[in-house]
Amino acid sequence: MIHGKHAILVVFAVGMVGGVGSWCYYQALQRRVLELWGPEAAALMVHAPQAEALWLERAAAQGGLDEVDLGGTRFAVRGRADVSHAAGLIHLRHSLINDRSFDWSAPEGDCLPRWEYALRFIDGNRSAAVLVAANCRRAKLASGSREVSLAAQASGMPEDHDKKPPLQRFLEDQFRQADGTSNRGK
């Protein structure tokens, strides 16, 4: 028979082991992503109070379009949307810091990315922007140089081979009505 003190100690020990195990598990899920984004940008992706979606094209003689500098590159802004409270953003925020959201085995340099979208997280004067190239299904931190392939969230069925990654689908959906089409980025 276990006395009350011993039962409490056993429950406490099991809780500590579970907590440490959970921490180790989540560290393993975030190791490569934290190396890619960096801890400050990753923290902004999860906690920044403001999020903005940008539909981009390389800045050129467009005339009349707003321009933005993201990581030293000028882009013309075709569309801008405050997505701070958009449906699905909370899940997307957490997927951005989960290694499973990216295909780490995809070869680099197999496609020349055309950065078409950005998701910018803003907290006061700090911000982090993730650029997305729909043509290559790639993403990168605007201020960084490393790119990563976006993993499609497929169910394993053969018809899922061309499913769009959630980040790409989320950004395309923000501008679907503005563009007047239902198949942006295909």
In a domain, 186, yes or no: no
Domain residues for the domain of 81 are 4-179
Question: Residues 10-31, buried b or exposed e (16+ Cβ, 10 A)?
Answer: eeeeeeeeeeeeeeeeeeeebe
In a domain, 184, yes or no: no
In a domain, 185, yes or no: no
Question: Residues 131-165, buried b or exposed e (16+ Cβ, 10 A)?
Answer: bbbbebbbbbbbebeebbbbbbeeeeeeeeeeebb
Q: What is the pLDDT of residue 12?
A: 83
- The domain tally of the chain equals 1
- pLDDT tens per residue across all 186 residues of the chain: 567 887 888 888 888 888 877 766 666 667 888 899 999 999 999 999 999 999 998 766 556 668 888 888 888 898 999 999 999 999 999 999 988 889 988 887 778 899 999 999 999 999 999 999 999 899 999 998 889 999 876 444 444 445 788 999 999 999 885 555 434 443
Q: What is the pLDDT of residue 3?
A: 75
In a domain, 40, yes or no: yes
In a domain, 58, yes or no: yes
Give CA separation, 56 vs 34, 40, 169, in Å: 26, 24, 15
In a domain, 124, yes or no: yes
First to last CA, the chain: 66
What three-state secondary structure class fits 170?
helix
Amino acid at 79: G
In a domain, 114, yes or no: yes
Q: What are the two backbone dihedrals, phi and then psi, of residue 114, each rounded to the nearest 5 degrees?
A: -115, 100
